[in-house]
Amino acid sequence: MAKDKVSQEYGSLVFTDADMQDRLPKPTYKALRRVIDEGKPIDLDIANDIAHAMKEWALEKGATHFTHWFQPLTGITSEKHDSFLTPKGDTTILMAFSGKELVQGETDGSSFPSGGLRATFEARGYTVWDPMSPAFIKDEVLCIPTAFISYTGEALDKKTPLLRSEVVVEQQAKRVLKLFGRTPKRVVTNCGPEQEYFLVSEQDYKARPDLILTGRTLFGCEPAKGQELEEHYFGAIRPSVNAFMKQVDDELWKLGIPMRTKHNEVAPCQHEMAPIYEQGSLAIDNNLLTMEKLKLMATHHGLACLEHEKPFDYVNGSGKHDNWSLAADGENLLEPGDEPDENLQFLVFLTCLIAAVDEHADLLRASVASCGNDHRLGGHEAPPAIVSVFLGDELSPIVQALIRGKHVSAHGGEEVDLGVPALPNLLRDNTDRNRTSPFAFTGNKFEFRMCGSQQNLSDSNVVLNTAVAEQCSKFADDLEHVSSDKFVESAMAWVTKTLKAHERILFEGNGYSSDWEQEAKRRGLPNNKTTPDALPCMIEPKNLEFFEKFNVLTAKEQRARYVAQAEQYAKLMNIEVNTMVYMVKTMYLPALYSYSGKLAQGVETKEHIGITDVATKQTVQVLTDGIASIDAACKDLEAANKRAHAITDPKAHDDAYRDEIIPRMKTLRAAVDSMECICDSSIWPVPSYNSMLFYV
Ligand code: ADP
Ligand code: MG
């Protein structure tokens, strides 16, 4: 039977397992599988064979260059293209690519943020092939997914700690499974990132320096209509957007990215897409590629894709839900089983997760802290800054019963010997979604909903993986010495004891309510509302020890990451201030000078012929007062920013932006916005919310 077009093209730009099997000598393919499946090191002969096959494949697909594709601490991806061209000594050339070039690249990336790990004189960094993530072709370039490390072996990227954390969670989960008599080949994390974004017309985008320079509107008065009608959510997709989405799907499918769902979101011109979940680090690579393609493809349709967490005030911002689970040889460990011992195993992993989130709520919060995400979290459109776990109607009573030491019988589930509750299969169809919860059990996975739309999910998965590994190791440490006839009883005791100790993290109510904030405070849960509040925990001794103990990040690497993130915050804030000042001085004030001048002239002309125009005169007064307020607020902001910008200590620097700058930015914005709504729209120098959000 002929294959349909999508099946034919799916993965055509990826050097897939089938391609490898086709093109590699059998022993080489087997050796490569051992590298991929068992995490074994690769030797150079094998790498040479693979490089050759990969290059031949890439040349057939029209590639001319190769690149080591990596994720520096900026969170986005980086690449430097080298052509395969090698002179033969005469006038001819050879297209060559060696195993060494595949496995390791050297990059002079002294301009990437390193949080002080590299001085510029030792700028050398290495990119190292990650064979877990397949090579692919993008714009005639063979892209080889890599990790990025310094000359001295320190992680300089987002991927290295992610891979390390995947190793530890695998090791520790295997210890747990062994106690259940199981020895899977691989335990992996799975991740399904739901990506939200906005689309606006490219013309409007180009007319707004704030969108171009900062990704969000820094000014703009409230539109006449917002999202109150909720008509956009799941609404019919407008044709220009539909054409865009189709092309994005096509492009992503060719790259072997299993994009599945697409729909309109709540805010006007907001959309969402989600792939079928994949192994964690691969899913994150693919999410980054998706984000890149979204931006690029939008330009082919006269659109601009905004991936910022809060492009517009007055309507919802964008997040990225991190659906997370753990699987042993393809079997989901967060899926309640049919047999009592499977249920016990499920309860152990569930308990590990609950304890993990409670112990490291501060780090999880820090992992999603950013300038952009500060506008969402706690804003009645996204979970609060307080981390809590939601279990849902099915699971919550079971967990509560365990904590209270009661017998469990949920939804007809029979009680079984030895106190292991039978969990109803209903759990799988758990549709009870508490949208206000930051960390919700959704049937057979957890959904971490605090992540921002433009963030790289590596940071949150590093925390999650390592924290779960820690709990698994505690369980294994406690249970490995228990005789097998006592195992079930002891495991249940461990589950109940651990759930009791971490009960405070469980919350089934409305996360948006102010009561919860009070209640969370009483429970002693951290509530770090802003990035400057959230980041410092990264370098608390207990957290440095935590990552060091599991070989995920050394204290030095973790400190560097803190500095890089804190600096990033201050830099972005500084850019926002500069952009505001630039727009005020070169766009808003000049427009207001000329508009108020024109009105004043009209009033004067009318007075010459004996007509008194009181209303216009009043408007001129309001505009003149507005100009004065804007001018004063702008000068005040500039002066304060000069002081803040000069601070060198990362924490004091960020704190100054939170305390001294943000309130002044608000004052300036309010002054400008109050003028926008009384001015002739044709003289206003940038498109309004009304036109941008409701383009046709
Ligand atoms: P919703 O909007 O209701 O949360 P979506 O279908 O938009 O649901 O997104 C759910 C995401 O979770 C998808 O990417 C899906 O592949 C992913 N997912 C489903 N099961 C798992 C799992 N076991 N582990 C990780 N991710 C999963
Ligand atoms: Mg979701």
- Profile the chain (696 residues) by mean pLDDT over runs of 10 residues: 84 93 93 82 88 95 94 86 87 89 78 69 74 91 91 88 96 97 96 97 97 98 88 83 95 96 91 97 96 96 97 96 97 82 88 98 98 90 91 87 72 44 50 80 93 97 98 98 93 95 96 93 96 98 98 96 96 98 98 98 97 96 98 98 97 98 98 97 97 86
Other Cβ atoms closer than 10 A to 412? 8
Does residue 558 fall inside a structural domain? no
Three-class DSSP category at 326: strand
Task: Tell me the C-alpha distance between 299 and 296, whole Å.
Answer: 6
Q: What is the DSSP letter of 345?
A: H
The answer to whether residue 401 is domain-embedded is yes
For ligand 2, the distance from its centroid to the CA atom of residue 447, given in whole angstroms, is: 7
Neighbouring CB atoms inside 10 A of 30's CB total 12
User: What would the pLDDT profile of 483-511 be if each residue is shown by its tens digit?
Assistant: 999 999 999 999 999 999 999 999 999 99
Whether 161 is in a domain gets the answer: no
Is residue 490 located within the same domain as residue 510?
A: yes
The last residue of one of the domains, among 124, 156, 188, is: 156
Question: How far, CA to CA in Å, does 472 sit from each of 176, 345, 442, 478?
Answer: 6, 11, 21, 10
Residue 683 DSSP class: T
Domain count for the chain, please give it. 3
Other CB atoms within a 10 A radius of the CB of residue 42 amount to 18
Do residue 126 and residue 268 come from a single domain? no
Residues 70 and 106 in one domain: yes
Cα(374) to ligand 2 centroid in Å equals 20
Contact of 441 with 430, CB cutoff 8 Å: yes
Q: Please, are residues 95 and 105 in contact by the beta-carbon 8 Å criterion?
A: no
What is the pLDDT, as a whole number, of residue 521? 96
Q: Which residues contact 520 (CB under 8 A, 6 or more apart)?
A: 386, 388, 507, 527
H/E segment holding residue 636: helix 614-645
Q: What is the CATH number of the domain that holds 147?
A: 3.10.20.70
Instruction: List, for residues 2-43, the tens digit of each pLDDT value.
Output: 778 899 999 999 999 999 999 999 999 999 998 887 777 788
- Give the integer Cα–Cα distance in Å for 567 and 649: 9
Please tell me the predicted confidence (pLDDT) of residue 409: 54
Strands 82-83 and 278-279: unpaired
173 and 131 inside one domain: no
Q: CB under 8 Å to 534, separation ≥6 — which residues?
A: 362, 365, 366, 369, 385, 528
Write down the pLDDT at residue 418.
39
The ligand that comes nearest to the alpha carbon of residue 290 is: 1
Let me know if 330 is exposed, middle or buried by CB neighbors in 10 A (0-12, 13-18, 19+).
Answer: exposed
Alpha carbons 394 and 388: distance in angstroms, whole number: 17
Residues 577 and 544 in one domain: no
> Which residue, of 520, 553, 586, is where some domain finishes?
553
Give the whole-angstrom CA distance, residue 35 versus residue 39. 5
- Number of C-beta neighbours around residue 417 at 10 A: 7
Domain membership of residue 561 (yes or no) is: no
pLDDT digits (tens, 9 = 90+) for 389-421: 999 888 888 888 889 877 655 444 444 333 555
Residue whose pair of structure tokens reads 């308990």 in the numeric block: 351
Ligand 1 center to residue 287 CA distance, Å? 14
| Neighbour count for residue 186 (Cβ, 10 Å) | 15
Asked, for residue 428, whether it belongs to a domain, the answer is: no
Question: What CATH number did the domain enclosing 591 receive?
Answer: 1.20.120.1560
In a domain, 326, yes or no: yes
* 3-class secondary structure, 12: coil
E strand map for 268-318: 270-275, 278-279, 303-306
Tell the residue nearest (CA) to atom 5 of ligand 1. Answer: 274
Sequence length of the chain is: 696
pTM of the shown model: 0.94
Instruction: Tell how strand 446-448 and strand 320-328 pair up.
Output: antiparallel
Q: Which domain holds residue 111?
A: 5-156
User: Residue type for 377, please?
Assistant: L
pLDDT at 577: 98
Same-domain status, 394 and 535: yes
Residue 68 parent element (H or E): strand 65-69
Q: Provide the phi-psi class of 551: left if phi over 0, else alpha when psi is between -120 and 50, else beta.
A: left
**Nearest ligand (C-alpha, residue 319):** 2
Report pLDDT for 417: 35
Pick the ligand that lies closest to the CA of residue 275.
Answer: 1
Q: Which pLDDT score is estimated for 416?
A: 37
* Closest CA to ligand 1's atom 14: 192
**CB within 6 Å of ligand 1 — which residues?**
190-192, 194, 261, 274-277, 321, 323-325, 332, 444-445
Give the closest residue to 105 by CA, choosing from 145, 62, 48, 61.
Answer: 145
Task: State the pLDDT at residue 665.
Answer: 98
Atom of ligand 1 at shortest range from CA of 276: 16
Question: Same structural domain for residues 146 and 186?
Answer: no
CA distance 219 to 591: 15
Which tokens in the block code for residue 197?
Answer: 């974004």
Q: Of 122, 156, 190, which marks where a domain is finished?
A: 156
Do 197 and 111 have their domain in common? no
Amino acid (one-letter) located at 543:
N
Q: Considering the domain boundaries, does residue 423 fall inside one?
A: no
Do 497 and 599 fall within a single domain? no
| Helical (H) or strand (E) element with 126 | strand 124-129
Residues 341 and 221 in one domain: yes
Q: Are 128 and 259 found together in one domain? A: no
Could you list the beta-strand ranges (E) of 404-550: 439-441, 446-448
> Which of the listed residues 287, 435, 445 should we mutate to test ligand 1's pocket, taking the one with most ligand atoms within 8 A of CB?
445
pLDDT at 378: 79
Pairing of strands 93-95, 303-306: unpaired
Are residue 294 and residue 339 in the same domain, yes or no?
yes
d(CA 68, ligand 1 centre) in Å: 30
Is there a domain that residue 560 lies in? no
Q: Three-state DSSP class for 127?
A: strand
Measured in Å, residue 320 CA sits from the centre of ligand 2 at 8
Q: Copy the structure tokens of residue 491.
A: 């495991």
Does an H or E element contain 136, and which? strand 136-138
Tell me the C-alpha distance between 694 and 197, whole Å: 15
What single letter denotes the amino acid at residue 624? T
- The residue type of 316 is N
3-state secondary structure of 82: strand
Q: At what angle do helices 541-549 and 458-479 cross, to 10 degrees?
A: 70
Mutation pick for ligand 1 pocket among 260, 277, 284 (CB with most ligand atoms within 8 Å): 277
Ligand 1 atom closest to Cα of residue 191: 25
Dihedral through CA 536, CA 542, CA 548, CA 552, nearest 10? -60
CA–CA dist 182, 152 (Å, integer): 39
Tell me the CATH number at 482: 3.30.590.10
